[in-house]
A and B are shown apart, each in its own frame.
Chain A
Amino acid sequence: MAATTEHLRHEAESPAERLRTNRLGLWLFIASESFLFAALISARYYLLGTERSEHLNQPLGFLISLVLLTSSLFAYRAETAARFGDQRGFRRATATTIALGLLFMVGVVLEWREGLAFFPPSTLYGSAFFTLVGFHAFHVFTGIVALALLLWAGRDGRFGPENHWPVEGVIKYWHFVDVAWVFIFPTLYLVK
């Protein structure tokens, strides 16, 4: 006979306490992931100092940064909408965030195609560039998948004032991915 875990929940933690614990977990995860990017960024500086390639497409880089930053704006709106039970607002903002995220990925692909011609992975700068952008893009991709799952799971209106942690968690993760780009972009494109 199986025992349920229900009793584990109601005596142990109130929903408010559970929320705080979840938030702590997310921050710990974000702290850990920032060490990953720190490792890659420090590798870049160790090998190359502040040198960078002459052939970076700066306008494109700036554009995709703008796209990502804007996506965070919509992500914020999605979270707020969920918190207040505005289902349509939540769905629209989440969908927009996903769209902008995909646009970012397309931009990255375009950057890569140019990059392969001028600084392929067999060069030092190319090694740093493709690895940093690649790891970040992987995180963007997982964020997009998580947002899509939110959209799918939330289509029945389940995310509301009483239950918005999944939205909050995913959106905060999305913000983290954005902040990571705020460090990566200057490291690759701007420092001289």
Chain B
Amino acid sequence: MAILKGVLGAAVGYALGFALVAAVQLAMGNPVGGAAPVVIGSVLATAGWLLGVGLWRAWAREWFGLEPDRETPTGPGRYFRFTTDHKVIGIQYLVTFVIVFGLAGLLAMVVRWELLTPAADLGGDAYNQVMSLHGILMVAVAVAAVLGGLGNYCVPLMIGARDMAFPRLNALSYWLVPPVAALLLTAPFVGGWDSGWTAYPPLSVVNGGGQVLFVVAIVIFGLSSILGGLNAIATILRMRAPGMTLMRMPIFVWSVLAASIISLLFTQFFAASLILVLLDRVAGTTFFEAAGGGSPLLYQHLFWFYSHPAVYVMILPGFGITLEVLAHFSRKPLFAYKGAVAGFLGIVGLSGIVWAHHMFTSGMAHFMNIPFMALTELISIPTGLVFLSALGTIWRGRLWLRTPMLFALAVLFNFAIGGVTGIYLADVATDLHLQDTYFVVAHFHYTIVGGEIFALMAGIYYWYPKITGRMYREGLGRLHAVWMFLAFQLVFLPLFVAGIHGMNRRINEYVEPLQGYNTFSSVAAFALGAVFLVALGNLAWSWARGPVAEANPWRASTLEWTTSSPPPLHNFERTPEVVGDPYPYGEPGAAHVRPVVVPTIAGGSE
């Protein structure tokens, strides 16, 4: 089985890498061991894993002049090997990230359990590790689940293509993800790391050995992100069906394009900043060490230069799904479509020049405060265009309040709070108090969870019939939406107040007066955690036993609904021809795609 071959490949690769470095260490007369052999071992292990799981069979052989295996496997086994079908890869991403989300969610439950009371239940190190792992796993989910899962599955269908531009690269991007998870989940057991997902030096240079595996994991994850972004851009620019101009693309496709531009370019800074940490640890460099002339602030600049745009990688596809669902479930054209597109592109443009708003209290030169504050506050303008589009779409629509729509509406509520609270952090005077407090925690949970994850839920329920060929149970879906929405508010609203009242981040003990907010939030958090069990049950059970879904249960207008549920291997029996706007609602005679007419026996055509 491919997975077994992958594990074998990983073992061989690790041994090879380790031995190689150990040999060099011996030859140089240095002590054998430490971080260097582990790093090279892990890198070669990843290569071995990839080759074993099918990269060699399906692709790398070609580089040596050998014939690669071009067959696309069928049957359930194809989900467990290197398969180039974007629909398979989309499902692989979705399932993998549901599992990662579940793990990270359990860790969140541990965090909230610890914070039920002011006193410490866990040791400081244990808590820091739990919190750090929760953070990085969730960041990975947020960056890759929507793009890798729904982006991969739906974009080729929505543009009338047969697959992504680079199907083998697509599979590679996915199969890089399990090593990332393996490394992150191993790190706590080999010394652990306690520096959060942000891994600031000097702490990340002097702390436990798990930090090393963290760095390797991030570099690999970055590669997956970059290649995925590359593929999406090439696909969207080059593989659209005839007649689909850029301005006739569904808005979700625009959001994927925008997010992919950021992902392609800025992710390199994430890897670079962490590799420099590794070099400081292992190679004696002095990038971030004050004693050697280095600067901890340099790391923050490099890190946030990626990590701020990264949050737009997270939310842009969320906005895309939200606008998509709002249009179809209001039975209305997307309002101010051009404005929404301009909003996405404006966000992309501004995203790269605002990073230092994370550093107002860092000791950086004061003259940088005003420019970064101003540029950050300007992002509210393109974001406002997205809201214009959303609100204008539902206004005077015919709102069909099915589960996807409930989640999409929730996104608007949540992100309004999330976005507005961001202004408090962009304003320097208020940020001096709120930076590094639970106000920040509540803000980013409102934007990322309240915005992106709620949108992910909308997308999962919306495209569920297309992907699985079955329909989920609507009652349970609505229950999920309402319960998740209410519990979510109860968890995070008190945390804004806790932050204002002086609760800082990343602590497991706090002063007594903060207990009320925390206990309340924790109890609500357990309720929030529970809803995912219900949702998972509904989705899993319905996949196996739900009623068979038709091609277009929502009577939606975009291309993915013109083919069967699930689509055939090649997506469309005939390449569709696009003739109009993707949301031709309310206009009799308007259409997005030229209807396919089955010729009659008498030889007449149209």
Contact = CB atoms under 8 A, between A and B. Distances in A.
B295 A46 contact: yes
B72 A149 contact: no
A160 B110 CA distance: 61
Contacts of A2: 71-74
Contacts of A32: 226, 229-230, 264-265, 267-268
Given A42-B302, A47-B287, 20 more contacts: A3-B72, A3-B569, A5-B71, A5-B72, A8-B163, A12-B162, A20-B238, A21-B238, A21-B239, A32-B229, A35-B268, A38-B268, A39-B268, A39-B302, A46-B298, A47-B294, A122-B284, A124-B294, A127-B287, A155-B65
Nearest to A21: B238
B540 interface: no
B265 A127 contact: no
Contacts of B226: 32
B551 interface: no
Contacts of A127: 279, 285-287, 292, 294
Interface stretch (A22-30, A77-85, A87-95, A173-181): A22-30
Given A2-B74, A25-B230, A131 B279 contact: yes
B55 to A, nearest CB: 15
A64 B385 CA distance: 52
Contacts of A156: 65
Interface string A16-53: 01001100110011011101101110110011000000
Contacts of A36: 268, 271-272
Contacts of B63: 149, 153
19 contacts: A1-B74, A3-B569, A5-B70, A8-B162, A8-B570, A11-B162, A12-B239, A12-B575, A25-B166, A28-B264, A31-B265, A32-B230, A35-B266, A43-B272, A122-B292, A123-B286, A124-B292, A124-B294, A127-B279
A15 interface: no
A133 to B, nearest CB: 13
Ranked nearest first, the 9 interchain pairs of A and B with the lowest CB-CB distance are A153-B65, A127-B285, A39-B272, A36-B268, A124-B293, A2-B71, A35-B268, A121-B285, A28-B230
Interface centre among A8, A21, A124, A130, by most B CB within 10 Å?
A8
Contacts, number: 134
Contacts of A42: 302
B165 A25 contact: yes
A124 B287 CA distance: 7
Interface residues of A, number: 45
Contacts of B167: 5, 8
Contact of A11 (B62, B74, B237, B575): B575
A22 to B, nearest CB: 8
B68 to A, nearest CB: 11
A59 B4 CA distance: 53
Interface string B214-250: 0000000000001001110110011100000000000
Most chain A C-beta atoms within 10 Å of own C-beta, residue among B64, B229, B264, B287: B287
Interface of A: 1-8, 11-12, 17, 20-21, 24-25, 28-29, 31-33, 35-36, 38-40, 42-43, 46-47, 120-124, 126-127, 130-131, 149, 152-156, 158
A21 B284 CA distance: 43
Contact of B276 (A17, A20, A43): A43
Contact of B287 (A33, A43, A154): A43
A152 B295 contact: no
A39 B73 CA distance: 41
A149 B66 CA distance: 11
B1 to A, nearest CB: 16
Contacts of B279: 121, 127, 131
Nearest to A33: B268
B161 interface: yes
Contacts of B229: 32
A122 B285 contact: yes
B272 A21 contact: no
Contacts of A25: 165-166, 169, 230-231, 234
B393 interface: no
Contacts of A120: 284
Given A46-B301, A127-B285, A28 B233 contact: yes
A12 B161 contact: yes
